[in-house]
Structures are given as structure tokens and as C-alpha cells.
Amino acid sequence: MRAVALRAWVLCWLVLVWILLWGTFSAANILSGFVIALMITKLLPLPAVPVEGRVHVLSLLRLILTVLYRLILSSVQVAVLAVRPGPPPLSAVLRAHLAVQSDLVLALAVNIFNLVPGSIVLEIDQARRLLYMHVIDVGSERAVNRFYRQVTEVERLLVATFERERDWRPSAFKETE
């Protein structure tokens, strides 16, 4: 049942994208979007993504609010760094370890870190769960510690949202590999 609901969601999403691309809501666009969506899902199927935990809504809301706050705060900080007089800020590549179990949650963490201005993930060591990130304004130990606190906070929220110990069940995909 869940697979059927997921396929229906993907089809509806692709039809919506098709309508938005054409810019006109019409029966012809809906029908052609549905045909294109069916062709895409049948000819170019995505690999199955293992879902190994359960989503906790309150933790998800806390995660979203925290990421929004970090987006705003970091945007202001980067804007100030861009317009302030003086030498450019010191930047560095820092390594951060994430204690997440799921590849899906690891990918979500990478996307969160890439969205936040001032840092970008350069390399992912999937086996050891290490991220190598380019970070601007690391001229002091305080700034470096602040970066690591932010990584720890995002990691904690991701685990609370998707990977609580009592809800965690390893995927069948991993057992067959």
C-alpha cells in the first residue's frame, strides 16, 4: 500500500512540475503531464530508498525551525563579512563526524549544511560518516567551536527526527548487500 501511495505522489508531483513548466493549467497539460510522468517513472525508475526509522513530527518541526534560523543568521553573517572593510576572512576545510546510521539522513545532513551560507560540503566519507566542509570565517578558536556546535546540533536534531533508537529497524536492502 505504501509503495502505491508513493508512486501516486511521484506521479502527481511530476504532473505539477509539468504544468508549472508550461505555465497554463489546462486539461491538455494535465493529460500530457500524466503521460510524461508515466513514461519517466517507467523508463527511468529511481532506485528504492531504504526507510529505516520513523519520522517524529515535533522533532521535525524543531529541525525545520533551527535550519531556518541558521539560514537567516548565516546569511546576515556572510553579508557582513562581504561588506566589511579589511582583509578577507580566514577560511578552512574542517572535518566533522556525524553519528547517523542511515544514508538517507546523511544525505539530508549534507543538504542542510550546503544550504546554510558560509559552509559547503566538499567530500563525504560515507563509510566513516565524515564530512569535509569548507567554512569561511574560522579565524578564531571560538569560530571553529561555534561551527562544530552547529554540526552537533543538526546531527542531534536529525537523530531525534529520523533515527531514534526505539524506532530504528535496519533496512532489508542492507541485509541483502
> Where along the chain do its domains lie?
2-43, 57-167
The predicted pLDDT at position 171 comes to 60
**For the purposes of burial, counting CB atoms within 10 Å of the CB of 155, is it exposed (0-12), middle (13-18) or buried (19 or more)?**
buried
The predicted pLDDT at position 174 comes to 53
The Cβ of residue 154 has, within 10 Å, a number of other Cβ atoms equal to 21
The predicted pLDDT at position 113 comes to 94
Of 138, 142, 66, 64, which is closest to residue 95 (Cα–Cα)?
Answer: 138
Give CA–CA dist 25/71, Å, rounded: 33
Ordered per-residue pLDDT tens for the chain, 177 residues: 667 877 888 899 999 999 999 998 999 999 999 999 999 989 988 777 666 667 889 999 999 999 999 999 999 988 998 898 988 889 999 999 998 888 888 999 999 999 988 899 999 998 999 999 999 988 889 999 999 999 999 999 999 998 877 666 666 655 444
Which helix (H) or strand (E) is 125 found in, with range?
strand 119-125
Would you say how long the chain is, in residues? 177
Close Cβ partners of 150 (under 8 Å, ≥ 6 residues apart): 70, 116
What pTM was estimated for this model as a whole? 0.71
Q: At what angle do helices 103-115 and 57-83 cross, to 10 degrees?
A: 30
